[in-house]
Structure 1
Amino acid sequence: MLALLQGKAKAADIFSPAFVTAVPEAQLAQVIAGLKAQHGEPQAVVAVRSMDARSASVDIRFDKAIVTFTIGMLEGRLSGLFITGTRTEGDSLDKVVADFAALPGRTGLIVQKLTDTGAQTLVARNAEERFAIASVFKLYVLAEIDRAVRAGERQWSDVLPLAQKSHPSGITQDWPDNAPMTLQTLATLMISISDNSATDTLIATIGQKRLAAIVRASGHERPSDMIPLLSTQAVTGLKMPANAPLRDRFLAADDAAQTRLLAEAGDALRLKNLDLSVYTGGPNQIDTVEWFASPADIAGLLALLEREGDPVTRAILKINPGIPPVNAQRWAYLGYKGGSEPGIMGMSFVLGSKTGERYLVSALANNPAADIDQPGFVTLMARLLDQLAGPPATRP
């Protein structure tokens, strides 16, 4: 495997025929080139950990980092190869923050340690500034569901029809109209795979009055930025050039008038009339038609969920860790929600260490001029969380 990465062996020499067929040599070469561009040249194997009789986890040292791979074996050849994580040697929290600050566009970051006397801020960069947050907004929808369940107003087993089809991300846009779904299933899909149809169904069910209340209760510094809380269909529709007159009226209106405009828009902001090309030409209206919050606002919301959240809510948040498994496994608990679209990237975490510390992290990047380097952003967050988790445990 090391020889392959160093260009001293060919794929056909070490992989099974089935793997070579499934992953053409040109595709594999592109992956290897990307690894080298990010981490430098591969130098040595530093650890091999058996997982079972046919698979192992392998750490390989590159110039700038240690990259962890999971490999599968079949009859003496590699049958599978997955990149499962990286860690940067000689890294520090200061280095991560400096690299984060160097990203194009605007960046905001807050890292807090939760103590018995409150939140202790460890890192703050533009933490009070307003950013477009993309699908991170779905945490507000989850928070209202959580509140309603704890108050006895709803149950996780409540059945709702899938009545608000939206565009991907997600899978339920292809499911039958009005398919019966439990509240827990909709919330799980909304958070774990950022399902937009599940989200819009929940928004319509909850209603704007309750959503506005949870935005205020979370401590959002400028709640009007999130009131009314837009559906994913509404955001897409308002970004469309064809709806520019409606958008202009919406942006000029106060919260109450905006809510009325959305209700009166009817099918203009529904899936059948949406033009998804608004997301194919780079950042579009990200400073005007979006969901907006600061890193500190998101941290306040996460603190609310960490402090009061129902066990089901905590379980939903930990399904998708957002970072590679080898990094996520260093935490006893890792709750996550991210969001992205052209020009926007956000990743937010609520964390419990294996030694009992609790942390909140919210990172946001906006660039109206260009797309965000999403893999690079994820790598930065994995590095940051590694620093909070402390030195990795020694394993054979």
Structure 2
Amino acid sequence: MQSSVGNCKQVQGQDVIYLAICDRGNIPVKIKLNPAGKITAIFLAKHQQTFEQAVSSFKTLEGDVSLLVMEGKMQRAGIRADDPMAVGSAFKLAVLKVLKNQIAEGKVTWGQVVALQAKQQSFPTGILQDWSAGSLLTVQTLASLMISLSDNTATDTLIDLVGKKEVERFAPRNRPFLKTREVFTLRGSKNTELLKKYRLANTSDRSRILEEISQQELPDISDFVNNPKIALDIEWTFTVRELCSLIEDVADLPLMSYNPGIADPKSWAKVSFKGGSDAGVLNFTTLLQSKSGQSYCVSTTWNHNMPVSETKLANLYKGVIDTLLQ
């Protein structure tokens, strides 16, 4: 418990009900007495945090951490909220925004049928990497899989549909915009020299390298399962403020609520979520609507040159969300 709340320095209360005041939260305590007035049992409830304590706990993480908490249009808290960081699959919010715009413009429809192509096959997460080329899916299904299962093959298919240049409009640091298959291929063990060239290349030369690797087979998946390489520069880079803006623009789509992520959907009127993970990378971005109608966006990113703990970040993140209900 000390790892969660720190040192407890004071106890308030009387009779058999007390509150332990700790560094990063307070713990309700109840004691049971026998007829002689001696303590026979101590009950510790789930620790309570203030909003400020929950936010401050993010500063204990090693590496680079950003956090933004918005209440409507007002910023409640921010830690490096305007610093670009690698966000993993949270970039898919930008793809969804472009898709939503093109549907509104009549360029694409939700019911439009798309055939999977072999060149779009990627690695998990997702399920479509196991489907055969030529399989038919609607745009609605592809978008739903991209968000709810973070399906990489669905994502690359949609990027081809809407166009890389259109996605780059909402991802200005990500040029050329990378498809997931391109990231896996660049990081493959057989492309070590090509990756060095890519890192040193300008935007136009990088585009030529991506065209070159589009003809390659996917690397061996063991390159990413057994000992995944941390490559924060071969990623998708956004600020948490940009991610909050993106999720606000697409949160009205029903598919955004299929996977609520870390927040308890029973405690909120609506929860929209997208996360991202990679070696050394984690992001959680959630748009919440309270039962009284107040909206919140909570987005955090954690980058490190070592593996990061999803459980640790999720616990801190949930701590912030829970305080918004107090």
Q: State TM-score, norm by structure 2.
A: 0.82
4+ residue runs over 6 A deviation: 35-39
CA distance in 2, matches of 1:94, 1:331: 21
**Alignment match, 2:247:** 302
- Alpha-carbon distance in structure 1 between the residues aligned to 2:222 and 2:161: 25
Residue of structure 2 equivalent to 1:316: 255
Taking the aligned partners of 2:177 and 2:123, their CA distance within structure 1 comes to 18
In 2, the alpha carbon distance for the partners of 1:203 and 1:265 equals 17
Q: 2:265 aligns with which of 306, 317, 328?
A: 328
CA contact (8 A) 1:113 1:360 kept: yes
User: C-alpha deviations, 1:79-122, integer Å up to 9, x for none?
Assistant: xxxxxxxx9532121111122121121110011122xxxx2111
Q: Partners of 1:211 and 1:276 in 2: how far apart?
A: 30
Contact kept? 1:250, 1:261, Cα under 8 Å: yes
CA contact (8 A) 1:157 1:183 kept: yes
How many residues get paired? 290
Q: CA separation in 1, counterparts of 2:195 and 2:254?
A: 38
User: Is 1:277–2:223 an aligned residue pair?
Assistant: yes
- 1:282 touches 1:371 (CA, 8 Å); kept in 2? no
Distance in 2, Cα, partners of 1:387 & 1:37:
19
Answering whether residue 308 of structure 2 is matched by residue 372 of structure 1, we say: yes
Letter in 1 for 2:86: A
Whether the 8 Å CA contact 2:86–2:238 is kept in 1: the answer is: yes
Secondary structure of the corresponding residue to residue 233 of structure 1: helix
Indicate yes or no: 2:67 matched with 1:113: no
Q: Give 1:300 shift.
A: 2.4
| CA distance 1:253–1:113, change in 2 (3 Å) | same
In 1, Cα distance between equivalents of 2:124 and 2:281: 17
Q: Secondary structure at the match of 1:112?
A: strand
Supply the distance in 2 between the matched residues of 1:111 and 1:343 (Cα, whole angstroms): 23
The amino acid across from 1:145 in the alignment is L
SS of 2:110's partner is coil
TM normalised by structure 1 equals 0.68
Alpha-carbon distance, 1:375 to partner: 1.6
Amino acid at match of 2:174: M
Q: Does 1:261 align with 2:209?
A: yes
Task: Report if aligned partners of 2:231, 2:279 keep a CA contact under 8 Å in 1.
Answer: no
Partners of 2:222 and 2:175 lie apart in 1 by 24
Query: Displacement, 1:259?
Result: 2.2
**1:248 alignment counterpart:** 196
1:246–1:64 CA distance, 2 compared to 1 (3 A): farther
1:187 aligns with 2:187: no
Task: Structure 2: give runs of 5+ residues left out of the alignment.
Answer: 6-25, 29-44
Contact 1:111 1:360 in 2 (8 A): yes
Q: 2:180 aligns with which of 219, 224, 232?
A: 232
**1:278/1:284 contact within 8 Å kept:** no
Q: Indicate which of 95, 98, 111 corresponds to 1:141.
A: 95
Contact 2:250 2:256 (C-alpha < 8 Å) held by counterparts: no
Where does structure 1 lack aligned partners over 5 or more consecutive residues?
A: 1-34, 40-62, 66-86, 216-222, 392-396
Distance of 1:338 and 1:102 partners within structure 2: 21
Shift of the 103–158 alpha-carbon distance from structure 1 to 2, 3 Å rule, reads same
Matched to 1:355, the amino acid is: S
- Whether the 8 Å contact between 1:212 and 1:229 is mirrored in structure 2 is yes
For residue 280 of structure 1, report the CA deviation from its aligned partner.
3.2
CA–CA separation in structure 2 for the residues paired with 1:340 and 1:128 = 20
C-alpha separation in 2, matches of 1:276 and 1:238: 14
Say which structure is richer in helix.
1
What is the Cα deviation at residue 256 of structure 1? 3.1
**How far off is 1:182 after superposition?**
0.4
Check the 8 A contact 1:239/1:247 in 2, yes or no.
Answer: yes
Tell me how large the CA RMSD over aligned residues is: 2.5
Distance across 1 between alignment mates of 2:246 and 2:83: 16
